[in-house]
A = this chain, B = another copy of it.
Amino acid sequence: MKGYTYRQGDQEPSGSLPMWEALVTGAVGDVIEFWGFKRNHGRVWALLYVRNQPMNARELREGLDLSKGAVSMITQDLEHWEVIRRVHLPGNSAWHFVAEVEFMRMISRVLQRREGTLIARVSADLDEALRLASESEDLEPEILDRIQRMRTLATTMRRALRLFTRTARFDFRKARGVL
């Protein structure tokens, strides 16, 4: 009935995908996992992106060897991050998903939120430490310097991380234009 029901004999790719799709989804899964997301977030997005046509939950489940529940939760996450969209195909009651092309949005968006709350807390703690330490007696001034040095490290991180996400997004957009 549907395409892609075949299997390459000896190689055992994930689910029922042809080898090259398995390689693509696996590669993107590895990258996205490196950035602190779930591997399957990357795999689902990558399959939708490389297929370049709407897929429903069953197709995702069979292609990537996921459970019903996993597909539901992962697509919800991706939709929430706005890297996939849910569409309705005419004459078909099931939801279908399509990939947004702005992939770096997912990384930079979530990275910046995480980074924001982390740095706020770290800065507050270090300020408090500085306050408490300066009240205690017999303290080398060098030690206060060191706490302050770590304090600036936090803001440096924020700045550098922002630079990184901006650069990455810019480069991805540029790549799209070139290809």
> Size band of the A side of the interface?
35 or more
Is B122 a contact of A30 with CB atoms below 8 Å? yes
- Interface secondary structure of A, over-half rule: helix
Number of copies: 2
CB proximity of A34 to chain B, nearest CB, Å = 6
Does chain B have a CB within 8 A of A140?
yes
CB <8 Å contact, B153 and A19: no
B136 touches A18 (CB 8 A): yes
Which A residues, 154 to 171, have Cβ-Cβ distances below 8 Å to chain B? Answer: 154, 156-157, 159-161, 163-164, 167-168, 171
Question: What are 6 A-B interface contacts by the 8 Å CB criterion?
Answer: A2-B36, A23-B125, A24-B126, A28-B150, A49-B150, A145-B179
> Which positions in A face B, CB cutoff 8 Å?
1-2, 4, 6-7, 18-21, 23-24, 26-28, 30-31, 34, 36-38, 46, 49-52, 103, 114-115, 117-118, 121-122, 125-126, 128-130, 132-133, 136, 140, 142-143, 145-150, 152-154, 156-157, 159-161, 163-164, 167-168, 171-172, 175-176, 179
